């Protein structure tokens, strides 16, 4: 059974369910037998207010969790050397998840075309490099994952486009980045979204991660209670890839 989940949104994220409180998440995870979790709302949910951040941290302590609860945040790269979060704001969190491809958000650099796999490949590796080079990054979330909201593909189209895109990512360039990721001790997220959106092209990517000694972060990216449960969708793929505890990334700094 998967025993950690380091990418969970609460009601503080506008895109998450209204009833998804920190208390509820902790309770559900305790019942499930999860050992370690991370609360990670979007950085813009806090509107740069440190008071809101401190309140969120307080409610984790107030819930008196019997499991490890870490307090992180999800930010995004806007472009090379440009992030949505400042170093000062990031310092309030135990870890920062960096999204290289939040194309649905204003200010995020876009590929020249969403219909040309070569263009998308060039842009995805560029944004991935940007996230790796960013000193604030602790882990990179959903890299090379094509979001159906943005790409508006059918399931079959997404699968075919993903394969074509991955073939267009220059291997040497990617391997060089993965070696940097490994040296810096950054995590790379593997999430049930890859199963939900039928993204088989990511299998090759994760194989490469493992070959280069990159640690993988397990994250549901849950925005509701159903998605919290969907973490189990990952089990067959973890088995297929031969991922065990030694391959997993964990954040430093525990609250409980
Ligand atoms: Zn969200
Ligand atoms: Zn995200």
Report CA(221)–ligand 1 centroid distance (Å): 8
Report CA(218)–ligand 1 centroid distance (Å): 17
Report CA(171)–ligand 1 centroid distance (Å): 30
pLDDT tens-digit map of 11-45: 999 999 999 999 999 999 999 999 999 999 999 99
pLDDT at 149: 85
pLDDT band at 255 (very low <50, low <70, confident <90, very high): low
Neighbours of ion ligand 1 (CB under 5 A): 15
**Whole-number mean pLDDT of the chain?**
95
pLDDT band at 75 (very low <50, low <70, confident <90, very high): very high
Report CA(132)–ligand 2 centroid distance (Å): 16
Taking a C-beta distance cutoff of 8 angstroms, is the pair 71, 38 a contact?
A: yes
pLDDT at 256: 47
Report CA(200)–ligand 2 centroid distance (Å): 19
- Asked whether residue 1 carries a pLDDT value surpassing 80, the answer given is no
Pairing of strands 68-79, 95-99: parallel
pLDDT at 142: 98
- Asked whether residue 128 carries a pLDDT value surpassing 50, the answer given is yes
Report CA(45)–ligand 1 centroid distance (Å): 10
Written out in words, the top-level CATH class of the domain with range 4-247 is: alpha beta
- In the chain, what are the domain boundaries? 4-247
Report CA(98)–ligand 1 centroid distance (Å): 13
Report CA(42)–ligand 2 centroid distance (Å): 8
Q: Is 68 exposed, middle or buried (0-12, 13-18, 19+ CB in 10 A)?
A: middle
pLDDT tens-digit map of 142-193: 999 999 889 988 888 988 999 999 999 999 999 999 999 999 999 999 999 9
**Residue whose C-alpha is closest to residue 238's, from 212, 210, 198, 213:** 210
pLDDT at 253: 53
pLDDT tens-digit map of 81-111: 999 999 999 999 999 999 999 999 999 999 9
pLDDT at 254: 54
Beta strands, E only, the chain: 4-8, 36-42, 68-79, 82-83, 95-99, 139-140, 187-190, 215-218
Burial code (b: 16+ CB inside 10 Å, e: under 16) for 195-225 equals: bebebebbeebbebbeebebbbbbbbbbbee
pTM for this prediction: 0.96
């Amino acid at each position: 059974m998967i025993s950690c989940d380091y990418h969970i949104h609460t009601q503080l994220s506008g895109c998450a369910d209204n009833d998804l409180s920190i208390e509820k998440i902790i309770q559900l995870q305790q019942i499930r037998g999860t050992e370690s979790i991370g609360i990670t709302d979007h950085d813009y949910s806090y509107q740069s207010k440190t008071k809101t951040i401190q309140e969120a941290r307080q409610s984790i302590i107030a819930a008196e969790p019997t499991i490890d609860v870490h307090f992180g945040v999800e930010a995004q790269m806007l472009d090379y050397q440009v992030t949505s979060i400042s170093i000062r704001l990031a310092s309030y969190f135990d870890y920062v998840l960096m999204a290289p491809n939040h194309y649905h958000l204003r200010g995020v650099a876009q590929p020249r075309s969403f219909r040309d796999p070569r263009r998308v490949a060039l842009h995805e590796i560029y944004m991935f490099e940007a996230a790796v080079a960013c000193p604030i990054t602790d882990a990179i979330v959903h890299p090379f994952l094509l979001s159906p909201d943005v790409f508006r593909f059918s399931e079959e189209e997404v699968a075919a486009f993903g394969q074509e895109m991955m073939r267009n990512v220059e291997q040497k360039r990617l391997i060089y980045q993965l070696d940097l990721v490994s040296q810096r001790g950054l995590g790379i997220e593997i999430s049930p979204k890859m199963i939900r959106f039928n993204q088989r092209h990511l299998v090759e990517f994760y194989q490469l991660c493992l070959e280069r000694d990159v640690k993988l972060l397990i994250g549901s990216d849950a925005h509701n209670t159903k998605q919290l449960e969907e973490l189990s969708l990952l089990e067959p793929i973890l088995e297929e890839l031969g991922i065990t505890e030694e391959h997993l990334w964990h954040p430093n700094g525990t609250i409980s």
